[in-house]
Amino acid sequence: MLQTLNDNPDYTPAIAARTAPVYERVKSVISEAAWPYFAPDVDEVLRLKRERNAVILAHNYMTPDIYHCVSDIGGDSLALAQRAMDVEADVIVLCGVHFMAETAKLLNPEKTVIIPDPAAGCSLAESISGADIRKMRRLYPGVPVVTYVNTSAEVKAESDVCCTSANAKLVVESLGVDRVMLLPDEYLARNVAAVTDVEIITFPGRCEVHETFTADQVVALRRAHPDVTVLAHPECAPEVLQEVDYAGSTSGMADYVRDHQPPEVALITECSMSDNLISTNPRTRFIRSCSLCPHMQRITMENIAEALREMKFEVTINASIASKARRAVENMLKVGRG
């Protein structure tokens, strides 16, 4: 006979009792019938966190079981970078992609930072290298380099300051110059160029998730849902942003939904974002118009537990690279969110 989720032998009465309060956070996106599949792993991760004196940082693109059930700190890249500095635990588990784990290590060099799957990369981060930055400096001597945090520590080390999608405009304008290189995301750079008087030099890097969205898709979405409020990430093409109601970072989109409570909303970004917001915004109907990030999806409850259990996949950074990269990140944090 086919085993059902409720027949899971690992879902004991003790686990059911311990995880009942946790389930309340995700019951709008995980059915009661499915919870016995998630609960044993959630219970184990919570236990391992206590044993290892660990804290879990989760990006907004993590699945709801991770984001709402076991993470201690959630948010966009900037929020995770800022709050990582205040972590008092011995171990940081970064649930996101590799460059985020490197950033956490840069800001917490004395702590153990682990990533549940070291293969969780980023198409954008892989689009540029330290050698590319050095070449750009030769092409544009004297022009400051702002690099998106979606880059490796090696790239950050070649930069003057980092930025996120939330504070890119503010960082660019904080330099007080007429011309800036904003690398590597071409669309983010073009979108910033549209709202600043600073001349922006771009690089042909793109996010494989956000570059797939088109303006025609947004137009068709509005045709099918005339009352929908459309929010998009600034890694989307400028023509997409021209068709939406709001463009901002993942935290910016979350704040918009919380503050405005639109009856219907569509998020032009990674799919898990909607799932996480459903849990905290039950009055809003989310129209699915998203794309999955294969790299973010590599992080699972199972490999979080395995990484904590075996204390493996520690993130390390060459000391000479780390000191330069840390300076670029700290320069960004001095500017703030924007």
Coil vs helix vs strand at 59:
strand
Determine the Cα–Cα distance for residues 298 and 269; give it in Å rounded to an integer. 17
Percentage of the chain exceeding pLDDT 90: 88
Using one digit for the tens of pLDDT, what is the confidence trace for 188-216?
A: 999 999 999 999 999 999 999 999 999 99
Domains and CATH numbers, the chain: 5-120+297-310 (3.40.50.10800), 137-197 (3.40.50.10800), 210-292 (3.40.50.10800)
Segment 36-82, tens digit of pLDDT: 999 999 999 999 999 999 999 999 999 999 999 999 999 887 788 77
pTM over 0.95: no
pLDDT (tens, 9 = 90+) of the chain, 338 residues, equals 234 456 788 999 999 999 999 999 999 999 999 999 999 999 999 999 999 999 999 999 999 999 999 999 998 877 887 787 888 899 999 999 999 999 999 999 999 999 999 999 999 999 999 999 999 999 999 999 999 999 999 999 999 999 999 999 999 999 999 999 999 999 999 999 999 999 999 999 999 999 999 999 999 999 999 999 999 999 999 999 999 999 999 999 999 999 999 999 999 999 999 999 998 899 999 998 888 999 999 999 999 999 999 999 999 999 999 999 999 999 998 997 65
Q: What angle do CA 187, 191, 193 make, to 5 degrees?
A: 115
Q: Which two tokens stand for residue 109?
A: 């060099």
- What pLDDT is attached to residue 8? 84
DSSP string computed for 239-303: HHHTTSSEE--HHHHHHHHHHH--SEEEEESBHHHHHHHHHH-TTSEEEP--B--TTGGG--HHH
Task: Mark 234-272 as b/e (b = at least 16 C-beta within 10 Å).
Answer: bbbbbebbebbebbbbbbbbbebbeeeebeebbbbbbbb
Task: State the Cα angle at 149 between 129 and 72, rounded to 5°.
Answer: 135
**Burial code of 76-94, b = ≥16 C-beta within 10 A, e = fewer?**
bbbbbbbbbeebebebbbb
Contacts of 7 (CB under 8 A, 6+ apart): none
Secondary structure letter of residue 3 according to DSSP: P
- Note whether 71 and 26 are within 8 A (CB): no
| Angle at the Cα of 307 from the Cα atoms of 304 and 310, rounded to 5 degrees | 145
Note whether 36 and 8 are within 8 A (CB).
Answer: yes
Evaluate the CA torsion angle 252, 253, 254, 258 in order and state its sign: positive
